[in-house]
Amino acid sequence: MKYRYLELRKSYLQNNLIMRDKITRAARDYLARNGFLEIETPFLGKSTPEGARDYLVPSRIKHGAFYALPQSPQLYKQLLMIAGFDRYYQIARCFRDEDLRANRQPEFTQIDIEMSFVENDEDVMEIAEGMIKDIFAKCKNITFTKPFRRMTWTEAMNRFGSDKPDTRYGLELNDISPAVKNSEFTVFRQALEKGSVRALCVKGGADKFTRKEIDAFADFVKDYGAKGLAWASKKNDGSTTSTFYKFLTEDEIKNIEDILHAEKGDLILVVADNKNKVVYDSLGALRTHIADKLGLYDKNEYDILWITEFPLLEWSDEDNRFYAMHHPFTSVNVQDMDKIDSRDRDVLASIRANAYDLVINGQEAGGGSIRIHTPEMQHKMFEILGMSEETIKNRFGFFVDAFKYGAPPHGGLAFGLDRLTMLLTGDDNIKDVIAFPKVQNASCLMTGAPDFVEDVQLKELGLAVPEEK
């Protein structure tokens, strides 16, 4: 990365950036044809912390005050709807000061879209789907003739253990809780108090994985919160090796195998936990891990679907409060509107949002929602998230006030340009689709950024760096 300008001479990197340009041009052309205006929004804005950490910019004029670089243009694009610009888009630069995982960057680009007077989420999804089909046709010469499939969040989690499922292959989760609901096995009994017992059945897996590899699967799921992995290997010679069958009755074993349609040669992998999230996360990740190992999918195939009806809220045991699953500006599914005034945590957790994600090959390519558009409902949402009146006023007062002047029903979404480019090029490294990316610690080896500045610059800003002890 220190000599990135030399790396960029490589043909595959140049081809990736050419594809990125094609995607951007195709998106602009499509949105312009459909009546959208490209409008820029500010980089220097107000810090409204509710998600990742902001990148802060000190003010020279107002010492002690800071701008924040945008994590997204969310508030500005909603204000544009209030201002009367019914169809907006922007190729938006976004910034998030968060711990970098393998395919994240501190600065990234979105194809950002918002539109007014939408009846429901289908209106936004139709525009977005048309744009993605146009991009694939122009950039990959691939034509999709049928509408993209729809799947609810609940179905995705139950079947695949993920809200961004790769459905190019089977290997689905199965709920075996009914088979062991009366079991004396302590692990299962404790899990069923509040959670579930679920399993994968790997067809032919008994002969494909060694005991050492299965033990590695057990270590793998622990990274996702699972306490362990129970398994049963049904050999082709009719024998079965298992870590948990000895704790079950013959009827319970038969019922499990009936649910899984398990046969000779199959490998059964089970996670039990009193938190369904742990079960889903563990088996969902293991499913993908095994599919990669066995090559269960065609890398040249594109599998695209919408995930809908996300939960509006998710509870944090650590912070003892709700967080917005998408963001605090997402509206409530009309069928769950009667639950919004409840004080019961389980009732609030069951509220569905008017939110939707587009998933391509198990990757979230984009997502959005129908927005809240009344001051009363927006204020209510902030209250549910545990914000005080003072916090609401200080962080979002300008935004809530704008609703008082009349806001049309509106919604939108954003696609990650970096992620789209990776999907269309087949590259699995985000650094390969960005001209000058940062490395894992968010630094630039080529320029040396971030770097220290001169004392005179700090003095102008009213800042001082404490000396290290």
Half-sphere exposure of 159 (CA within 13 A, CB side): 14
The whole-number average pLDDT for the span 179-189 is 96
End position of a domain, from candidates 294, 323, 355: 294
Least-confidence region, from 94-108, 190-204, 229-243:
94-108
What the block records as the tokens of 202 is 């790997």
Residue 150 and residue 69 share a domain? yes
Quick one: 307 and 289 in the same domain? no
Of 262, 294, 326, which residue constitutes the final position of a domain? 294
Burial label, 316 (beta-carbon count in 10 A; 0-12, 13-18, 19+): exposed
Tell me, yes or no, whether 467 lies in a domain: no
Share of the chain above pLDDT 90, in %: 94
User: Given this model, what pLDDT does residue 395 score?
Assistant: 92
Evaluate if pTM is beyond 0.75.
yes
* Residue 423 resides in a domain: yes
Across 2-30, average pLDDT? 98
Give the burial string for 38-49 (b: 16+ CB within 10 Å, else e): ebebebebbbbe
Q: What is the pLDDT of residue 103?
A: 77
* pLDDT tens-place string over residues 91-100: 999 999 987 7
Q: Summarize pLDDT for 309-323 with one digit per residue, the tens.
A: 999 999 998 899 999
- Residue 48: the pLDDT is 84
Whether residue 468 lies inside any domain: the answer is no
pLDDT band at 69 (very low <50, low <70, confident <90, very high): very high
Task: Give pLDDT tens digits for 132-147.
Answer: 999 999 999 999 989 9
pLDDT at 102 > cutoff 80: no
Output the pLDDT for position 120: 87
Farthest CA pair distance, the chain: 80
Q: Are residues 174 and 201 in the same domain?
A: yes
The pLDDT of residue 407 is 96
**Are residues 373 and 421 part of one domain?**
yes
Q: Strand 230-234 relative to strand 267-273: parallel, antiparallel, unpaired?
A: antiparallel
**Whole-angstrom distance, CA of residue 21 vs CA of residue 171:** 37
| Averaged pLDDT for residues 261-286 | 97
Residue 469 belongs to some domain of the structure: no
pLDDT-derived band at 167 (thresholds 50, 70, 90) equals: very high
Whether 289 and 320 map to the same domain: the answer is no
Residues 394 and 440 reside in one and the same domain:
yes
For residue 50, name the pLDDT band (cuts at 50, 70, 90). Answer: low
pLDDT the model gives residue 466: 86
Query: What is the per-residue pLDDT for 98?
Result: 84
Please, what is the Cα angle at 402 between 401 and 403, to 5 degrees?
90
pLDDT digits (tens, 9 = 90+) for 361-396: 999 999 999 999 999 999 999 999 999 999 999 999
Contact between 211 and 231 under an 8 Å Cβ cutoff? The reply is no
**How sure is the predictor about 469, in pLDDT bands with cuts at 50, 70 and 90?**
low
Mean pLDDT of the chain: 95
CATH number for the domain harbouring residue 215: 3.30.1360.30
CATH number, residue 386: 3.30.930.10
User: Nearest to residue 108, comparing CAs of 145, 55, 153, 59?
Assistant: 55
Pairing of strands 87-95, 37-38: parallel
Domain of 424, in residue numbers: 4-155+302-455
Same structural domain for residues 194 and 278?
A: yes
Q: Nearest CA to 74 among 118, 39, 113?
A: 113
More confident residue, 65 or 238: 65
**Is the Cβ–Cβ distance between 389 and 193 less than 8 Å?**
no
Number of domains in the chain: 2
- The pLDDT tens digits of the residues spanning 213-265 come to 999 999 999 999 999 999 999 999 889 999 999 999 999 999 999 999 999 99
Whether 466 is in a domain gets the answer no
The domain boundary residue, chosen from 259, 274, 294? 294
Could you tell me if residue 239 is inside a domain? yes
